[in-house]
Chain A
Amino acid sequence: MIKVENLYKQFGDNEVLKGISTNINSGEVVSIIGPSGSGKSTFLRCINLLEVPTKGTISIDGQSITDKNTNILKVRQQIGMVFQHFNLFPHLNVLDNLTYAPIKVKGESRQVAEDKARKLLAKVGLTEKEKAFPSNLSGGQKQRVAIARALAMEPNLMLFDEPTSALDPEMVKEVLNVMKDLAKSGMTMAIVTHEMGFAREVADRVLFLDGGVLLEDASPAEFFSNPKTARAKDFLEKVL
């Protein structure tokens, strides 16, 4: 589904990604792990062009999105993204957070969008919060709303950028559970995470990045029990 070829990204003199090539297949859940500064978030953000790659190509379903003529807005509508700091719209209530883009961007009627939003809120267990404003929600609730907001656009692919890193420990689970359900439903997911347990349990594949290079691409069982590179061994010893 997604084909990344020889991806480079440079910020000024700082080369963050140094030639990454990989595929993500439809329905696959891929965890991207690595030490901080390894370029994993940048890699994720390149997939929906929040960062424009310096070099290399990314194509989705055979269509290049790194091409100059691509309609970036159309590409992004098919890719949901969940951020570390939620980034809910603080001046809109929960329901409006979910319906804003479907109504304004996709042109859905308010009725249709709200019905869908309520179903999604039920799915993430926040039905009673539809009139609440983000500032009145806990971190875990905010992140669940953020997931529902991304799903409201009916994306083919979901990107998660350290979705639990800003949460209090007791709220991590409620968010991971929502993500597990999503994975079971067959959604294609790319997840930058420090939750090794989650990666091991839910992911189909683990990508290990260090210094902007993709060092390992393996099944979780293989990666966690028998990492090939010394760097990955070292990393796992520190975090497990």
Chain B
Amino acid sequence: MNLDFNQIVPYIPFILEGIWVTLQFVIISIIFGFILGTLLALCKISKIKALNWFGDAYTSIFRGTPLILQLMIIYFAIPQLTGYDISPFLSAILAFGLNSSAYVSEIIRAGIQAVDKGQTEAAQALGVPYRLMMKDIILPQALKNILPALMNEFITLTKESAIVSTIGYLDLMRRAQVVGADIYRNFEPLIFVGVIYWLLVMVLTIIGKVVERRLKYSD
């Protein structure tokens, strides 16, 4: 066995900085993906055929091609097409947000459709407009049911975020590779960031459980 964790000690601050770098774009991507996913879900359940079609086509494309390909297209191909020199940060948010919204939209659509039809009827009978009904009556109930599935999606996104290392974005994963190249040892830095990813996911899991318990209280 040739293991020596002492070697990475000088690099620990450098790696730890990667936590914030990773979290930064993961958090923004989750929020972006969630908002866009909600809108897409509303498209899918809309009575307007064109919106249904758009929602389905969107999901089909973003779920049907590899995330890493989407990331590469956004980072490498967009500059070629437009001349705009897109930053790794912006590419990462776009790729992960757009991709995640496809999955989130399916989760939310299922959640909305699982809410009892009587809820819609009760809101309609009271003269509540569609937008308010969705916002105040249907979505809160849907979210409660789909919270575990949503947390799953957020956890996946957090882990898959390591893919951005391929476009040179200095996230946790990329930092582990940089340190590995520097000290000619890969096992220690990779294990080190592996533990950090696991801890991040644990924190997310705990947050999910707390929110779930809070929501349960109200019924």
Interface residues of A in 65-113 (CB under 8 A from B): 73-77, 79-81, 83, 85-91, 93, 100-101, 104-105
Interface flag for A224 (CB, 8 Å) = no
Hey, what's the 0/1 contact readout for A29-60 against B, CB within 8 Å counting as 1? 00000000000000000001010000000000
On chain A, the residues within 8 Å of B27 by CB distance are none
**Residues of chain B lying within 8 A (CB to CB) of residue A105:** 126-129, 132
Let me know if A77 and B127 touch, CB within 8 A. Answer: yes
Task: Count A/B pairs, Cβ under 8 Å.
Answer: 66
A199 adjacent to chain B (CB < 8 Å)? no
Q: Given known contacts A87-B119, A89-B137, A91-B140, is B219 in contact with A135 (CB within 8 Å)?
A: yes
Q: A73-B127, A76-B126, A105-B128 are in contact. Are A100 and B121 (CB under 8 A)?
A: no
Closest residue to A45 on the B side, CB-wise? B121
In this complex, how many residues of chain A approach chain B with their Cβ under 8 Å: the count is 29
- Given A83-B118, A83-B121, are A90 and B126 neighbors across the interface (CB < 8 Å)? no
Chain A residues contacting B137 (CB-CB under 8 Å) are: 89
Tell me if A139 is interfacial: C-beta within 8 Å of chain B: no
* B: contact size bracket: 10 to 19
Q: Are A91 and B219 in contact (CB under 8 A)?
A: yes
Query: What residue of chain A has the Cβ atom nearest to residue B217's Cβ?
Result: A133
Task: Choose one: A77, A85, A90; the contact of B219 (CB below 8 Å).
Answer: A90
Known contacts: A90-B219, A104-B136, A134-B219. The answer to whether A73 contacts B119 by CB under 8 A is: no
Interface residue ranges of B116-167 to A (CB < 8 Å): 116, 118-119, 121-122, 124-129, 132, 136-137, 140-141, 144
Interface positions of B (Cβ within 8 A of A) = 116, 118-119, 121-122, 124-129, 132, 136-137, 140-141, 144, 218-219
* Chain A residues in the interface with B (C-beta under 8 A): 48, 50, 73-77, 79-81, 83, 85-91, 93, 100-101, 104-105, 133-135, 149-150, 153
A-B contacts, 20 listed (Cβ < 8 Å): A50-B125, A73-B128, A73-B129, A74-B127, A76-B124, A76-B126, A76-B127, A77-B127, A83-B121, A83-B122, A85-B116, A89-B137, A100-B136, A101-B128, A104-B136, A133-B219, A134-B219, A135-B219, A150-B125, A150-B126
